[in-house]
Amino acid sequence: MGTTQLESVPEPKYWHLKTVLSEALDSEFSVGEILPNERDLAARFGVARATLRQALEQLELEGRLQRRRGVGTTVAPPRMGVSVGSEQHAWPGGPDDAWHAVDCRLEVPPPALAEPLVTGSDEAVHIVRRSRVSRGQPVASELLYVPAASVPDLSGIDAPSGAARARAVLRELQRLELERQENAVELGSAGADESKELDRLPGAPVLVVTTRYIARGRTAALSVATYRADTCRLTFGDFGGVEIHHGPERQAS
């Protein structure tokens, strides 16, 4: 019984591989540099390509690598911080919020959104599609659901559809006084449509930010924004210039 059970659990090859590669990236590669191709790397480490790929997938998930079909694998730059908090989202479409309106449709929302939107389940809402670009790269794609009741004066707008109508909807939204907003982030995978907007393959990991804009006690708009998880760090709660007034009962009891 001399074996002390240490290392009796051999770590998986891909895990060890990931560690080795990670250290190599830190010391021997610089941002943007391209790695040897997968077949060569696999041979060099004496593993099957599938195993090598498992390690690369992890590193890509962590934002350390970027892989593009037909091109190669490159060392990714550090993730960029994008603001998703109170500041940036004050009202969608506010004075430069880094979003770019794409188009607008009038449809009934998917049933999964019927609850947060308080509309009747068969009621059509404005669906504004926006995209967000940062440092020349697409980082997010958003669907903004706006119940007709939130933008009552939209009738007079002539733009029937497209980006112009999208901007009109956003402009009308500004007239409401924003009470507060509720946010949530969760992990998802890019659908067929978003993947194209984000310049990624379908199934790529994304951070889904859901925001409920509340005005006059009702849900005035609901935003579902999907961010590229590989390139983005979502920042929030950076109350840089905003004064926060704590209720006096903070340290109560």
Partner DNA sequence: TAGTGGTCTAGACCACTGA
Partner DNA sequence: CAGTGGTCTAGACCACTAG
Residues contributing to the site for a second copy (CB under 8 A): 11, 15, 18, 58, 61-63, 79, 81, 85-86, 90, 95, 174, 180-189, 192, 202-203, 205, 207, 229-230, 232-247, 250-253
Q: Sketch the per residue contact string, 15 through 54, with DNA: x for CB under 7 A, - otherwise.
A: x-------------------x-xxxx-----xxxxxx-xx
Structure tokens at 245: 């007034």
Distances (CA, A) of 156 to 25, 152, 172, 216: 58, 10, 11, 23
Nearest to 183 by CA among 157, 208, 220: 208
CA distance 220 to 88: 17
Q: How many residues does the chain have?
A: 253
By the rule CB under 7 A, 6 interacts with DNA = no
Kindly tell me which of 136 and 247 has the beta carbon lying closer to a second copy: 247
Q: Report in angstroms how near the CB of residue 174 gets to DNA at its nearest.
A: 38
CA distance 145 to 168: 14
CA distance 240 to 194: 32
Q: Report in angstroms how near the CB of residue 202 gets to DNA at its nearest.
A: 7
CA distance 101 to 186: 24
**Which range of residues in 64-72, 83-91, 126-134, 162-170 is near DNA by CB under 7 A?**
64-72
Residue 181 touches which member of DNA, a second copy, none, C-beta under 5-8 Å by kind: a second copy
Residue given tokens 């978003």 in the structure block: 194
Q: Report in angstroms how near the CB of residue 160 gets to a second copy at its nearest.
A: 28
- The residues that touch DNA, with contacts defined as CB under 7 A, are 9-10, 12-15, 35, 37-40, 46-51, 53-54, 56, 67-73, 201-203
